[in-house]
Structure 1
Amino acid sequence: MIRIAICDDEQRLRKELRKVVERSLQLKGRDYQLQEFDCGEALLAELSAGSIDILFLDIEMGQLNGMDTARLLRKQAPETLLIFVTSHPDYVFQGYEVKALNYILKPYKEQKILEVLDAAIAELSEEPEQSFLVKHKGGQKRLLVQNICYFWSERRKIHVRTEEEVLTFYGKLNEIELEMPDCFVRIHNRYLVNINFVQETGTEYVSCAGQSLPLSRGNKQDLHVAFAKLLLE
């Protein structure tokens, strides 16, 4: 899930930027959440409730301008990718102080928005690889999440399958599901699969990493939506 925010005191320009950003993300099949703020004060208040991955920030706003907002933001959210939007290119050079990723000039040009958005998403994708620690009978092992094909439960035991091996440990599938990124989809009460290893979906089964796994009626829609998004990427 990519969390995006647009902070601009001009509603029309917020809507214009939002329309381009959302259309691009939807065409890419990306999961996202997009929020709008009309002032820096409202944006900074929201940061206490969680992080924002990508922020489009207007420099020329009311009492708290964009540059002052950015300085305060860096104290709370140093990892947020900051993109300035402004009518005056002279302000752009101040962006180095707050580690801005890029800038967009008003009036907006759609191609520029798309280029900057793609660059920001690529920057997010370069985050360290996520891992999952398995504590099993023979000791413990750290698995790269991207190499996990699926999990399945059997009473109090959880089995995790990678392309090379199967490991067994004690745990709860519901808790593991909360830890995993969006590419992991529940297909059955006992199965959690990595959509990147799904080769085929049927009415009652899923082919994942060469194995035929059961697909429950209640999980069909989520699985088919996730699989469709994968095909669009």
Structure 2
Amino acid sequence: MLNIAVCDDEAVTLDYLTREIGALFRSHGLECIVEPFQHGTLLRKKIMTTHSYDVLFLDIDMPDVNGIDLGRHLREQQNDSLIVFISNREEYVYQSLKVKPFRFVRKSRFDAEIGQVVQDIVHELSREKPHDIVLTINKTFVSLDPFKIIYVECTNKTLSIVMENEKLEITYKLADLEEMLKGYGFIRIHKGYLVNYRYIFSIERGEVVLDIGERLPVSKYRISEVKEKFRRLAL
């Protein structure tokens, strides 16, 4: 789960930035919480007292605390969050380099530039945080790449983990594995199935059809939730 903050003093702009940034991260299969802040002082207070963020999207030209001053304060506190400045004031580019921002996005070119910036952030975070999850089974460690898992089926306490080139059967709790896979784009379609949304071809009445041709059952109690989560992840 990524924690992201967006700060801009214009309410309409802030709402738009928050929605677009959240949708782009989710399109990469990443679950995230995107918090909007209309005042830099409120964001600074939250960071200093209770919260940390993986990524900060900051407007530079704000009346209370400008984005560069806020970034400088964070760096002085040894905060290593990725900072992206979003501003119409291109003359601030060189001044902003003092706080080591990850990127600078022009507001006038936001729609054209933000997609690549988010893609670069995802790549950067993946370098810092290896994808593999590690399961401990009978004192043995099993390392798995979540992105290569197509789906997981649970039968009588045995999990069948179906991957691109192999199938692994282990004794493990589905709920525990589901917790480990949070943020990697998996959907619980049934009490006995977890599916990687990237391999879903379509959702039909009572079934999920996978790219590999298999059909998996969808619980009638989960169908609306499954469709909504798939829609959000696949945006």
Query: If the length of structure 2 is used for normalisation, what is the TM-score?
Result: 0.77
Unaligned runs of 5+ in 1: none
Equivalent residue number for residue 38 of structure 1: 38
State the number of aligned residues: 223
**Which stretch has the larger CA shift, 207-216 or 73-82?**
73-82
User: Judging changes above 3 Å, is the alpha-carbon distance between structure 1 residues 226 and 135 closer, same or farther for their aligned structure 2 residues?
Assistant: same
Cα 1:185–1:37 shift into 2, 3 Å: same
Give the drift of 1:196: 1.0
Q: Give the distance between the partners of 2:220 and 2:148, measured in 1 at CA.
A: 27
Higher relative contact order (CA 8 A, sep 6+): 2
Q: Deviations over 1:21-77 (max 9, x none)?
A: 525765997465433323333112333324242412334432x44322102323464
Instruction: State the match for 1:118 in structure 2.
Output: 115
Cα pair 1:184 1:194 within 8 Å, conserved: yes
2:68 paired with 1:67: yes
**Secondary structure of the residue that 1:160 maps to in structure 2?**
strand
Q: Deviations over 1:188-223 (max 9, x none)?
A: 011101011123322222233433222101221232
Pair 1:201–1:155, CA change in 2 (3 A):
same
- What's the CA shift for 1:133? 2.0
CA contact (8 A) 2:59 2:87 kept: yes
d(CA) in 2 for partners of 1:139, 1:221: 38
- Answer whether contact 2:157 2:171 (CA < 8 A) is retained: yes
Moved more, 144-153 or 221-230: 221-230
Q: Report whether the alignment pairs 1:223 with 2:226.
A: yes
Listed as ranges, the matches of 1:37-186 within 5 Å are: 37-47=37-47, 48-62=50-64, 64-74=65-75, 75=77, 77-85=79-87, 87=89, 89-104=90-105, 108-109=107-108, 112-126=109-123, 127-128=126-127, 129-136=130-137, 139-180=140-181, 181-186=183-188
Note the aligned Cα RMSD (angstroms). 3.1
Unaligned 5+ segments in structure 2 are none
Question: Is residue 190 of structure 2 the alignment partner of residue 200 of structure 1?
Answer: no
Identity fraction in percent: 21
Q: Does the CA contact (< 8 Å) of 1:153 and 1:173 recur in 2?
A: yes
| Distance change >3 Å, CA 143–CA 194, structure 1 → 2 | same
Secondary structure of the corresponding residue to residue 198 of structure 2: helix
Q: What amino acid sits opposite 2:116 in the alignment?
A: A
Judge conservation of contact 2:87–2:105 (CA < 8 Å) in 1: yes
